[in-house]
Amino acid sequence: MKRRLQNLLPLPISAYLGGFFSVSLLLFIIIGGWMLLQMNKVTNAAEASRSHSARTEVRAAIDKVLTSSQEMLAELSQWSETRQQLRDNTYYEYWRNTRVLQTSRIPHYVTDVDIYDQQGAILLTRSGSSMPDKLPDLLHFIDIQQGTTYLYRFMPIVRPGDGQRNIGYLGLRMNFDQALQELNHFIYTDSNSLGIVSPEGARFPPDEIQHQLSYLPRQSGETRKLESVMRSTLYSFAALAVVLIIISYYLTSSLLHTPLRRLAQYIEELRRNRGDISKTELSGGTLCVKEFDMLRSSIIDYQHELEEMHNHLDQKNREMWRLAHHDALTGVANRRAYDEDWERLQELVRGQRIQVSVMLIDCDHFKAINDTYGHDVGDQVIRVIADSLRQNLREGDHLYRLGGDEFAVHLINTDTEQCRTLAQRYQERLSHFDFKALGIKEPVRFSIGIATAEGSQPKQVAQLHKRADIAMYQAKRPGNNKIAVYNDGMAGNAESLLSNRFITTVYRAIEQGDNIELHYQPVLAADDAQSGFYETLVRLRDERGTITPHNIFPVVESEGLAVEFDYAVFRRITKAFEQGEIPQGTCISLNVDGSTLMHHNFIQQVSRLAPFIQSGCRCIVLEITENALISEIEEGSRKLRHLREAGFAIALDDFGSGYSSLRYLANMPVDIIKLDIGMVRDLEGDPSQRIITEYIAHMVRGAGYQLVAEGIENDSLLYRVLALGFTHVQGFLFDHSLPAIDPQNRLTVAEYPRNSGKSLNRALGS
Amino acid sequence: MPKQVLLFFKRLLFVLWILPAITQAGEISLAMPGNLKALADYHSGDPDKPAVLVLHGFLQTHNFSTVRLIATELADAGYAVLRPTLTLNIDQRKNSLACDAVQNHTVEHATKEIATWVAWLKQHGHAHIVLIGHSTGSNNLLSYLHSGPDSAVSALIATSVGPMQSGDDHKESDRQQAEARRQLASGDSVLKRYTLGFCRENYVTPPGHFLSYMQWDRERLLDYLRSSPVPTTVVLGESDKWSPEGWRETLEQTDIPLRVIAEANHYFSGTSEFSFQSTILSLVESADDRAG
């Protein structure tokens, strides 16, 4: 019921008003009816009271007539002149007619009087007399004659002082109706209604007279007046109520309902006109109720404010949309715009034989530039890239900054070759920019990945970004020309990047560490003057086999797990020490990511390895990339110094691959420099590059650092580095990564067995 | 001194003797001729004093005020007083009779009743009786006296006495009397309306009865007064308007003892009441003295 009622709501005000007035009318009818009922009750009660009073009054009146007749007859019978007639009735007629009937001795409604002797015979017989000649048996009776009620009464005449001797009788006839009227003043009885119901000639005792009389109660003037006043009041009240209801309805309708309806129509029209006040008019002219007019004005004012607010919000929305869809630094569309546009583009080309391409561009080693030269320089580089790409966009191409130094371009109706040409143009224009003007001394290079698909192949279209990313990753690889177009051969590598399998395994390694396998690659001392050591290389193991670093670290990097992963490796090496996996007296090195170095808990975590450092021998080497160290050189140096003091040896890994400045090197608390494999290879390449490498080797060695040459894969290169004074060598010429350390092997070039069968093309593990 | 003591005791004994008689008073009835009973008020008094019979006037009763006035004064003076009511041929009449009532009585009827009452007084030990009549009552008493009164009657005091007349118009009176006589002569005894005394044209009586009263004209009355067998004194009110014109002067011209009460009306009411009472008392006392 309540729910049905709620379903009816809201109701229009006319329904409430109608209900209100209906209820009012109903209440009035009920009250009026009740009042009428009460009035009738009062009237009936008054009627009953009047009837009772009339009955009592009539009875009293009858008694009065009877008593009066009794007294009258008694007085007349005791009258001496009456007795005189019994002695001598010579002048009886005179006595009866003159002395009795024609005097005021008896009232005029006594129509006849006669005296009877002791034997009951009338003293004087008269023809046509209404009195009986003989004394009747019933001395007291009512007789109906010619529609008139007569009372006959007879009484003995007693001689006083003579033993109350009955000397005769006296009788009279009285007009009962007249006597009743004249002897009584009726208050409660309508005297005009008094009448006898008995038939003509009826005769009965006087005590039955009341039953033979008909009469009506007198309508009390006060009661009638009161009833009249009450009825008049009720009718006036009814009329007044009806008038009030009509007036109220009119006033409510004109002052409340109509203005509200007009306001509601106005608001509805305003809504239809989308809040345009200029197009909306209030029907029916001005509202006559001030409050409603104020409400209308308020609505208009409010609508004005709303409109202004709406415009402001529109503007803000546009701005927000622009901010949300554009990169604040470069002004080009951002990642959100990219995603939305990409969704629309997919829909647009779905099922169409339209070539769709995604081109991803990023700056190689941008992080190093950012870290080395500061964010301001990094931002300028980003702006340069954006400006350059924007200026070289074709009509209809869209440029997006996806984040950091990564840019993307959507290309339509552009085949692979055209994409490649465009990419080359981008690269060429970017290379023309003088980055040295920004203070960047190193060359700035850009990698571009391209993926193309036809709209009729929606699945492939959906994979375009991923594929372009893979291609860009490929483009970054050494030896590539920095522009790569995706092909299916890249899919394997790509799969490894984002494989859930790898992610799961990495997380398991961090959480449990039981799937971390340590492999060891020997770093051999050039001569006996130095100690060789093993570089620990990480492999992960799952049900499907072993996962190599080039599948592990992209996950670690993409998931931001570098610190946690390094700490897991620390724990695993500690375990290897504890379990003798790393034989006592064996020196090892382990790689530390730059973010791990900067982590606040780094010292504590790495110190768990300190107990395995043998006194007098820095046999645990921490390999830090130069970029990691340079980015936070002061903090990093402070921590490394602390670790050196604790007995650790510090190696600067991949030296020469990044942008580390040689001037920082002197301040770096490092013991070993591991020259980048590219520079080592340069020893066999371009003479100028070889010379630079040689000079660097000399300089490092001259500064007293131990110098490690990575990527030694053949004897020729071995000899060259040994000749240049490298203290350690490392490469497939000697061994791949080993699952276990053979304590029998001596870690010197001269004594470690060679592995000449290895391919030079295999990538290094770290 | 012994004489004074003796006189005191004699008076004391008299008072003790007379006291019950004085207190004996009340209404009595007495059978009258014609199977009637008449009512009276009797007040016993000093047996040594004469009894006084006080008779009311025309159509009145013994309770008429003037009669009561006289009776009271005399009773207070120790006289036995009888106030009878003439029946006027109505058994045990108690009330005054209206003029238009059936006047079925005559002066002769009254004379007989007076004789009956006098006899009753005498039977009750009153050796001396003084008669006092008021107005027509005096005429009735004179009628009684001339019909042969009892020897016990010693005096008559006729107050407001006057001739019976039928109005002031003598001619009309004569006409009525003549008509009555004619009717009586023709044996007509139907009731007629006459003027008699204060009843003006409404005295309803048979002609004979009317004439019995009308016999008491001025001459007859003077004659009866002069020839009264007992000492008779007339007492008139100086201002008696019911008294026929020149009646008092007529009396004054006679040797009939006459007392005129100054300023008194026919009924001696008002301020003349005391003077009337003292006059009556003195007259009764005088009669007592004469009788004694």
Token couple for A548: 């190599």
| Predicted confidence (pLDDT) at residue A577 exceeds the cutoff of 70 | yes
Among A111-115, A451-455, A617-621, which is the least confidently predicted range?
A617-621
A401 and A453 part of one domain:
yes
Q: Is residue B206 part of a domain?
A: yes
Q: State the Cα–Cα distance between residues A398 and A395, nearest whole angstrom.
A: 9
Q: State the Cα–Cα distance between residues A356 and A347, nearest whole angstrom.
A: 12
pLDDT value of residue B9: 60
Q: Is A105 on the interface with B (CB under 8 A)?
A: no
In which band, very low, low, confident or very high, does the pLDDT at B6 lie, cut at 50, 70 and 90? low
pLDDT value of residue A567: 92
Q: Is residue B2 part of a domain?
A: no
| Predicted confidence (pLDDT) at residue A616 exceeds the cutoff of 60 | yes
Q: Which of A168, A192, A219 is the last residue of a domain?
A: A219
B244 and B155 part of one domain:
yes
Note the helical H segments in B97-217. 107-123, 136-145, 170-185, 207-214
Higher pLDDT, A220 or A438: A438
Q: Is B189 on the interface with A (CB under 8 A)?
A: yes
The total number of structural domains that make up chain A? 3
Where in the sequence is the domain holding B91, given as residue range(s)? 25-97+105-164+216-291
Q: What CATH number did the domain enclosing A84 receive?
A: 3.30.450.20
Query: How many residues can be counted in chain A?
Result: 766
Closest residue in chain A to residue B100, using alpha carbons only: A99
Span A557-586, average pLDDT: 87
A366 and A396 part of one domain:
yes
| Predicted confidence (pLDDT) at residue A677 exceeds the cutoff of 70 | yes
Q: State the Cα–Cα distance between residues A531 and A710, nearest whole angstrom.
A: 16
Between A and B, how many CB-CB pairs are < 8 A? Answer: 47
Asked whether the beta carbons of residue A80 and residue B90 sit closer than 8 angstroms, the reply is yes
Higher pLDDT, A637 or B258: B258
Q: Note the pLDDT tens digit of each residue in A523-557.
A: 999 888 778 899 999 999 887 788 888 778 877 87
Q: Note the pLDDT tens digit of each residue in A431-453.
A: 888 888 888 877 788 889 999 99
Residues B23 and B46 sit within 8 Å (Cβ to Cβ): no
Higher pLDDT, A451 or A164: A451
Strand A533-542 versus strand A483-485 pairing type: unpaired
- From B90's Cα to the closest Cα of chain A, the distance in A is 5
Does the bond joining A583 to the residue before it have cis omega, within 30 degrees of 0? Answer: no
- Substitution target from A78, A79, A80 for chain B, most B beta carbons within 10 A: A80
In which band, very low, low, confident or very high, does the pLDDT at A766 lie, cut at 50, 70 and 90? very low
- Substitution target from B102, B189, B193 for chain A, most A beta carbons within 10 A: B102
Q: What CATH number did the domain enclosing A641 receive?
A: 3.20.20.450
Q: Percentage of chain B with pLDDT > 70?
A: 91
Q: Which of A473, A497, A521 is the last residue of a domain?
A: A497
Q: State the Cα–Cα distance between residues A573 and A534, nearest whole angstrom.
A: 12
Span B27-47, average pLDDT: 90
Span B212-233, average pLDDT: 92
Q: State the Cα–Cα distance between residues A366 and A381, nearest whole angstrom.
A: 9
Q: Which pTM does this prediction carry? A: 0.49
pLDDT value of residue A681: 83
B82 and B205 part of one domain:
no
Q: Name every chain B residue with its beta carbon within 8 A of the beta carbon of A99.
A: 98, 100-102
Q: Is A160 on the interface with B (CB under 8 A)?
A: yes
Q: Highest mean pLDDT range out of A219-223, A494-498, A675-679?
A: A675-679
Among A399-413, A647-661, B115-129, which is the least confidently predicted range?
A647-661
Where in the sequence is the domain holding A169, given as residue range(s)? 52-219
pLDDT value of residue A757: 40
B116 and B187 part of one domain:
no
Asked whether the beta carbons of residue A84 and residue B102 sit closer than 8 angstroms, the reply is yes
B210 and B220 part of one domain:
no
B32 and B169 part of one domain:
no
In which band, very low, low, confident or very high, does the pLDDT at A659 lie, cut at 50, 70 and 90? low
For chain A, how many helices (H) and strands (E)?
Answer: 26, 21
Higher pLDDT, A758 or A106: A106
| Predicted confidence (pLDDT) at residue A763 exceeds the cutoff of 60 | no
pLDDT value of residue B292: 63
- From A84's Cα to the closest Cα of chain B, the distance in A is 5
| Predicted confidence (pLDDT) at residue B242 exceeds the cutoff of 70 | yes
Q: Is residue B240 part of a domain?
A: yes
Q: Name every chain A residue with its beta carbon within 8 A of the beta carbon of B204.
A: 91, 94, 98
Q: Is residue B57 part of a domain?
A: yes
| Predicted confidence (pLDDT) at residue A173 exceeds the cutoff of 90 | yes
pLDDT value of residue B10: 59
Phi/psi-derived region of residue A666, left when phi > 0, alpha when psi is between -120 and 50, beta in every other case: alpha
In which band, very low, low, confident or very high, does the pLDDT at B45 lie, cut at 50, 70 and 90? confident
Q: Is residue B278 part of a domain?
A: yes
B196 and B231 part of one domain:
no
Higher pLDDT, A664 or A637: A637
Q: Name every chain A residue with its beta carbon within 8 A of the beta carbon of B102.
A: 81, 84, 91, 94-95, 99
pLDDT value of residue A635: 83
Q: Name every chain A residue with its beta carbon within 8 A of the beta carbon of B101.
A: 81, 99
Span B167-188, average pLDDT: 85
In which band, very low, low, confident or very high, does the pLDDT at A128 lie, cut at 50, 70 and 90? confident
Q: Is residue B15 part of a domain?
A: no
A215 and A115 part of one domain:
yes
| Predicted confidence (pLDDT) at residue A762 exceeds the cutoff of 50 | no
A506 and A486 part of one domain:
no
Q: Is residue B10 part of a domain?
A: no
Q: Which of A168, A202, A219 is the last residue of a domain?
A: A219
A506 and A439 part of one domain:
no
Residues A731 and A711 sit within 8 Å (Cβ to Cβ): yes
A444 and A518 part of one domain:
no
Q: What CATH number did the domain enclosing B52 receive?
A: 3.40.50.1820
B62 and B187 part of one domain:
no
Residue B93 has what DSSP assignment? -
| Predicted confidence (pLDDT) at residue B57 exceeds the cutoff of 90 | yes
B136 and B71 part of one domain:
yes
A477 and A551 part of one domain:
no
The total number of structural domains that make up chain B? 2
pLDDT value of residue B279: 94
In which band, very low, low, confident or very high, does the pLDDT at A594 lie, cut at 50, 70 and 90? confident
Asked whether the beta carbons of residue B100 and residue A91 sit closer than 8 angstroms, the reply is no
A680 and A538 part of one domain:
yes
B236 and B122 part of one domain:
yes
Token couple for A564: 């946690």
B71 and B196 part of one domain:
no
Closest residue in chain A to residue B99, using alpha carbons only: A99
The span from the first CA to the last CA of chain B, in angstroms, equals 28
A630 and A718 part of one domain:
yes
B114 and B208 part of one domain:
no
Q: Is A390 on the interface with B (CB under 8 A)?
A: no
Q: Is the predicted ipTM greater than 0.85, yes or no?
A: no
B196 and B287 part of one domain:
no
